[in-house]
Structure formats: C-alpha cells, structure tokens
Amino acid sequence: SQTIHQWPATLVQPVGSPLSLECTVEGTSNPNLYWYRQAAGRGLQLLFYSVGIGQISSEVPQNLSASRPQDRQFILSSKKLLLSDSGFYLCAGGGVTDTQYFGPGTRLTVL
C-alpha cells in the first residue's frame, strides 16, 4: 500500500509571507494526488487534485497554487499568505479502488 509523507508537521507564518508545503508518495506510481484543507472543527475542502505530472485541477479560487513537478511529488504554494489560509492541510493519494490514503497533515497558523 502507499504511504503519504508531508512536511512540516506544523508551521507558523506571518501574513504576506510565502508558503511551500511538500507531499511525497511512496509505494505506488502515477497516483492521483490531492490537497485538502480542514478548518478547525470542520470537514474537508478539496483544494487541488492532479492526475499526472504537470496536471493540476483547482477546485476553489484562492491565493494558493499547486504543482506536480514529479510523479510522486505534490507541492502546495502561496506567494502571500492571508489570515484565512490558516488550517490543517492534508495531502492524499488515490489507490487502486480510488480509495484515498492520507498523509499526517500540516497545521498552518498565519499570524
């Protein structure tokens, strides 16, 4: 089965600073990859998904972007963070039955 790695685990950034969160996948090739955001006490909001290198679909307009430079690497970025970008960011990879396996998450606090 696949394993999803994410880092860092926690991050505190000032408003207006850039962001780069990295996700890598082990144990599979050509996975579908996903970025979700979970606000405190809320459900999951799908931000981006990718079905292959360089292919990114955006679900929600915002000041975040995603890139997939390699098959098993998915990066979430921002040029200038907003307070509203705070949340718990989860990366997930799609499996054989389209089940999604999740990474441990990154808790981002923007001050």
Partner 1 sequence: GEDVEQSLFLSVREGDSSVINCTYTDSSSTYLYWYKQEPGAGLQLLTYIFSNMDMKQDQRLTVLLNKKDKHLSLRIADTQTGDSAIYFCAERDYSSASKIIFGSGTRLSIRP
Question: Could you tell me which stretch among 13-21, 67-75, 77-85, 99-107 binds partner 1 (CB under 8 A)?
Answer: 99-107
Q: Which CB sits closer to partner 1, 14 or 97?
A: 97
Q: Does 92 bind partner 1 (CB under 8 A)?
A: yes
Contact 42, 88 (CB under 8 A): no
Question: Could you tell me which stretch among 13-21, 36-44, 68-76, 79-87 binds partner 1 (CB under 8 A)?
Answer: 36-44
**Nearest one of 102, 96, 56 to 77, comparing CA atoms:** 56
Q: Tell me which of 43, 54, 61, 69 binds partner 1, using CB under 8 A.
A: 43
Q: Does 61 bind partner 1 (CB under 8 A)?
A: no
Kindly state the tokens that stand for 29: 């090739």
CA distances from 60 to 37, 47, 49, 64 (A): 11, 6, 11, 9
Alpha-helical regions (H) of the chain: none
What are the residues binding partner 1 (CB under 8 A)? 4, 6, 32, 42-44, 46, 49, 51, 57, 90, 92, 94, 97-105, 107
